[in-house]
Amino acid sequence: MKVSALLRQTARRFTRAGLHYGHGTHNAREEAAWLISSVLGFLLEQELSSKQTKAINTLAQRRIRERIPLAYLLKEAWLGEHSFHVDKRVIVPRSFIAELLRDRLSPWLQREPKRALDLCTGSGCLAVLLALEFPKTRVDAADLSASALQVSKINIKRYELGKRVRTIRSDLFNSIGGKYGLIVSNPPYVTGLSMRKLPEEYRHEPSMALAAGKDGLDLVHRILAEARDYLTPGGLLVCEIGGNRKALERAYPKLEFTWPETSDPGSVFMLRREQLPR
């Protein structure tokens, strides 16, 4: 069998199984392509050995039968061109903040910050991307979950950033000291109703990294109340909130949110220190 034939076959199997996507892919064909390329690269007319075909079919069967996100099966997730180790201790990285970091947050960030904070770091992916985009910046990666921080350390080590990126176990700002020129955060933001309706794939992820109360803004409220104290003058807060823009703007009608363009419009807001509540 050639790769192209197995790709079509696997995509059909995923479609028939009614899988849900969103952990790095958007449809059955993308999911099948990722699975196959993880085993042998991606040469469509390459002839497959029986061993390779068996490995791919075994992974595909687990994906269908157990509804485990492919990223967990492969122990790998991607944000742009950068790959990260993931497992069930963290949610699968899918932050739209990563798109903004490719342009170094231009034009909103005028200069490279001396210190940056990735709040609710999870796998550490945004902390790593911060350090890669800003080579003179010292980055703190904070999370309440000790097991999540173990994963973030794997990724920090993978990119040889241990001298500039440190992990901190903290309930948001509770164990944070000092001030930062930039704070990014992709906190839990799934509403209570959405949590009850989550597809099975998402139930493999740690619920504490998803659930955020009735309106999905429990942690965002805390971040907005405290972030000003941890930003330097002119410092920037960048926060992801999924589909909760209307709820946020209703809750804070006087705040002048900036909504930068991403692949998911209205999912990321920015505020400068001076715009945050006192």
pLDDT digits (tens, 9 = 90+) for 126-143: 999 999 999 999 999 999
* pLDDT value of residue 41: 65
For domain 3-74, give the fold. Answer: Helicase, Ruva Protein; domain 3 (1.10.8)
Residues of the chain with CATH 1.10.8: 3-74
* pLDDT value of residue 59: 94
Mention the CATH class of domain 88-275. alpha beta
What are the CA-CA distances from residue 171 to residues 65, 145, 219 (Å)? 36, 9, 10
* pLDDT value of residue 40: 73
Residues comprising the chain, all counted? 278
- Record the tokens describing residue 53, joined without a space: 């075909």
φ, ψ of residue 159 in degrees (nearest 5): -95, 10
* pLDDT value of residue 24: 87
Q: Do 178 and 115 touch, CB atoms closer than 8 A?
A: yes
| Nearest one of 144, 129, 142, 132 to 211, comparing CA atoms | 144
* pLDDT value of residue 44: 54
| Nearest one of 117, 105, 71 to 268, comparing CA atoms | 105
**CB burial of residue 256 (10 Å; 0-12, 13-18, 19+):** exposed
The single-letter DSSP state of residue 69 is -
pLDDT at 52 over 90: no
Residue given tokens 């201790």 in the structure block: 89
pLDDT at 244 over 80: yes
What are the CA-CA distances from residue 34 to residues 71, 170, 257 (Å)? 9, 34, 36
pLDDT digits (tens, 9 = 90+) for 55-109: 989 999 999 999 999 999 999 999 888 999 999 999 999 999 999 999 999 999 9
* pLDDT value of residue 249: 97
* pLDDT value of residue 46: 64
Minimum mean pLDDT among 47-51, 215-219, 249-253, 264-268: which range? 47-51
SS3 assignment, position 250: helix
Measured in whole angstroms, the distance separating CA 232 from the mean position of its chain's CA atoms is 25
**DSSP code string of 177-202:** -S-EEEEEE----B-HHHHHT--GGG
* pLDDT value of residue 45: 53
Q: Do 216 and 190 touch, CB atoms closer than 8 A?
A: yes
C-alpha 228/C-alpha 248 separation (Å) is: 18
Question: Is the bond preceding 107 in cis, omega lying within 30 degrees of 0?
Answer: yes
Residues of the chain with CATH 3.40.50.150: 88-275
Q: How confident is the model at residue 241 (pLDDT cuts 50, 70, 90)?
A: very high
* pLDDT value of residue 50: 87
pLDDT at 42 over 80: no
Mean pLDDT of the chain: 94
Mean pLDDT of the 39-68 span? 83
User: Kindly report the CA angle at 223 between 152 and 164, in degrees rounded to 5?
Assistant: 35
What are the CA-CA distances from residue 195 to residues 98, 141, 154, 231, 261 (Å)? 24, 26, 29, 32, 27
* pLDDT value of residue 39: 80
SS3 assignment, position 45: coil
pLDDT greater at residue 39 or residue 277: 277
Percentage of residues in the chain having pLDDT higher than 90: 83
- Other CB atoms within 10 Å distance of the CB of residue 121: 32
C-alpha 58/C-alpha 24 separation (Å) is: 20
